[in-house]
Amino acid sequence: MVLTFSEKRINDGIIKFSIYTNAKYIRLVDKILFYTIIFFITITTSLRQEFSITKFAWVLIGLLIIHLFTNFFQVRSESLWIIPELGIQFNKKYLSGSKTKKFYDKDRMKNVIINEGITRFQIIFYIGFIIEGEHKLVMPFTHLYPKLKDLKRIYNQVQDIFFSESKSKDSGEQNLQNDDNDNDNDSDNDSDSDNDNKGDDSENLESQSDDDNSLKLN
């Protein structure tokens, strides 16, 4: 199966990441349908039984129903829409022509991660969002998986659009806290210095008083 990944920038800073398949390939269901028909014809011929058009028609109709039912749920494309002022949206399109959409508000987005997973046949990388109120990782691509380099492009865009402000805010708060700590330290140092100066002055006064007393005695 050949997959194509694309990135499209739309008005108002909206970015659309899509992955889709447009290759013509023979799926497992197609092979089962073909070999079942061949098997049915071979058996009826080898046993020299009268070829029953009715039985063959029912078998063919049943297999065609299974074939169409499977195609109905076959994903043709998946896409992630990044809408800076609102949030993110997941779109799926099936071979039957039906579509599904799922939107998540940016205020519910907590983080985005790239993770590694294992399927029955291969090791894959996938991107997921941590959404407030969702009990598990929310993934835009669940049937067609982009390459790692494409996932990194998505990750960087999401970080820059949705999480750069929070990072800069946290950094600013940290700097303010550090400045407050520095000011507190400076005030403590000034207070210690004033106390030292007062101590020196009192010592000087005491010394001067002792000198005066000694002069009076003389």
Contact indicator for 155, 140 with CB cutoff of 8 Å: no
CA dist 6 and 10 (Å) reads 13
- For 120-137, write each residue's pLDDT tens digit: 778 899 999 999 999 999
Domain tally, the chain: 1
The helix or strand, by DSSP H or E, that contains position 111, with its residue range, turns out to be strand 109-118
Average pLDDT over residues 55-70: 68
Residue 198 lies in a domain: no
Render 136-194 in DSSP notation, one character per residue. S-B-S-SSS---HHHHHHHHHHHIIIIIHHHHHHHHHHHHHHHHHHHHHHHHHHHHHHH
76: three-class secondary structure by DSSP? strand
- For 138-179, write each residue's pLDDT tens digit: 999 999 999 999 999 999 999 999 988 665 555 555 555 655
Domain boundaries, position 158: 3-164
Residue 193 lies in a domain: no
Q: Which two tokens stand for residue 61?
A: 């109709």
Average pLDDT score, the chain: 75
